[in-house]
A and B are shown apart, each in its own frame.
Chain A
């Protein structure tokens, strides 16, 4: 799957390699990106959008985007499956939370150690990828989920019970309401998106793609597969750790049950629905799935009240059927993910009126 668009914008000629690799190629794109960035950060001030409920959803989307970007680097670019991502989110979250309450470190000092701890543990669980391939690798990451959760449950009393974590502060400014936290979340989301987008233009990024497309060929070309696979694992889990740190400081509460296998599977789903190997796709995927899930939460209880003849809990059951059905239909009609469609739309716009 191409991760750049099929056609360059009309009238743009790349006369050097440097120009060809630019992310933002035209003036219109510059204007659009700056306007959308301003809009993103202005949302809490716009009357129609600034309800805490919507802001909370957006914060959730932002944090999930960070998690899924990491996953997309590993799965989408490097081709290694990971169905234990939320365990690494947990490692980051607990590291950050423990540093915060035991050593009194503020969030800004915790977030990098959280990411690094998570990356180190991620690298350990990445070691089997030397030998394991494809679906078989899913087993080790599934194992990571189960083993890490078990350690947190039985060997660290504090994490088993859950503990409260301080909010993020800068000087006297406390980010404890959705409206304030929104800026922190969006800052990190934009930064991490920027890093992920640029990563693919570096040497390691190209090595990842080579490994995904054919690892034997990549090895023959002199790429140290083991090193780059581990690097991909570390980047993936670093993203997870940073997101975990954000998550616990956002919830001001750290507990094991916020990081389940179900979540891990949903992260994979988001990446696949969005489109493997596409940064925009990841963002679309997260938004799409979050909106779909939100539908259950909002409509479920309403429906249940209207249908008293069904057994208790049937209302949510009905909604699950509908949501699952919509998602399956979506995949049947859009099996290559939202990013593919996005590229088609872009191509259509660029070629218009000469598209055929």
Chain B
């Protein structure tokens, strides 16, 4: 029982990080129907920027966070302005391909300025452990969990109740319609990419705390893709729940079966689930007509 509790806790904590990264995918999909393959590299670059302030310049923790987040927003905006803006109205697959190329550029930028060698991990949360009966939770993963939930809540509120959030949802439906309703598609896209940059950076900072800052961080971007899918590509709450679900399956299977069966098992479960719910748990079901 002690083992099971521990495994569930570990799975949930892992899942929270997946969820946070998956929110980045959802944000971009919601506004532009693009699956952003460079999300993992945005996460990497954001993490490296944070490292420069905190580890490189040895600034105060809050000051460096305060400096990093605008930088991350700016990074998102720049990416959108330079690469995706010219492609508005072009075939969707071209836009997706651009994000793949973008990941090359971002990896290049990261190794150009910070080298290919890993940088030291920086924890932003106080180290410690919390005992729940026989299960021990690290405070770090608790904070990660909390952060993912908070970001999710903020985004849900944002998309449901603010004017900007509503127009973002509209933009996802169709660029022409929104344009004709007097909403600037370009501005909305820019802001969306900015927010996605911030979300990715938060994930990068969190992961850098446990895995260290290294080029391999971008791999997490791929692990989080299923989380975004299972929750439904349009829904932030789905992303977080999907992340938790995947973290849980992975942790339980690799705990009891071993042989690294966790990741493949989570995919098998996902494929089966998707057969019954083809748009994920919270995704928008498209009603198609001829």
Contact = CB atoms under 8 A, between A and B. Distances in A.
A–B touch (CB < 8 A): the answer is yes
Interface string A324-340: 11011001100111000
A34 interface: no
Chain A to chain B: the 10 pairs with minimum beta-carbon distance, closest first: A320-B108, A311-B115, A313-B116, A324-B104, A317-B111, A324-B105, A321-B108, A143-B267, A317-B112, A335-B90
A135 B278 CA distance: 11
Interface in A111-134: 128, 130-133
Given A147-B268, A313-B117, A321 B109 contact: yes
A54 interface: no
Interface string B26-57: 00010000010100000000000000000000
Contacts of A154: 259-261
Interface of B: 29, 35, 37, 83, 86-87, 90-91, 93-94, 96-98, 100-105, 107-117, 222, 225-226, 229, 233, 259-261, 263-264, 267-268, 270-271, 274-276, 278-280, 288-290
Contact of A150 (B261, B278, B288): B261
A317 B267 contact: no
Given A317-B108, A317-B110, A135 B100 contact: no
Contacts of B91: 276, 335-336
Nearest to B97: A272
Interface stretch (A44-52, A168-176, A212-220): A212-220
A46 B266 CA distance: 53
A313 B114 CA distance: 9
B interface majority secondary structure: helix
A314 interface: yes
Contacts of A132: 274-275, 278
Contacts of A128: 271, 274-275
Interface of A: 128, 130-133, 135-136, 138-140, 142-143, 146-147, 150-151, 154, 214, 216-217, 220, 261, 265, 268-269, 272-273, 276, 310-314, 316-325, 327-328, 331-332, 335-337
Contacts of B101: 269, 324, 327-328, 331
Given A147-B268, A328-B101, A317 B117 contact: no
A310 B110 CA distance: 12
A217 B290 CA distance: 6
Contact of A140 (B96, B111, B263, B271): B271
A269 B111 contact: no
B264 A146 contact: yes
30 contacts: A128-B274, A130-B275, A135-B233, A136-B229, A139-B225, A139-B226, A142-B267, A143-B264, A143-B267, A143-B268, A154-B259, A217-B290, A261-B222, A265-B100, A272-B93, A272-B96, A310-B112, A311-B114, A311-B115, A311-B117, A312-B117, A313-B111, A317-B108, A321-B112, A324-B104, A325-B105, A328-B101, A335-B87, A335-B90, A335-B94
Nearest to B225: A142
Given A214-B290, A272-B94, A317-B109, A150 B275 contact: no
B225 A331 contact: no
A320 B116 CA distance: 13
A131 B288 CA distance: 13
Given A143-B267, A324-B105, A269 B97 contact: yes
Given A272-B94, A331-B98, A336-B91, A319 B116 contact: no
Contacts of B288: 216
B98 A139 contact: no
B264 to A, nearest CB: 4
B87 A147 contact: no
Nearest to B112: A317
Nearest to B267: A143
A21 B288 CA distance: 33
Contacts of A312: 115-117
Contacts of A135: 29, 35, 233
Given A139-B270, A317-B116, A332-B83, A150 B260 contact: yes
A206 B288 CA distance: 22
A143 B97 contact: no
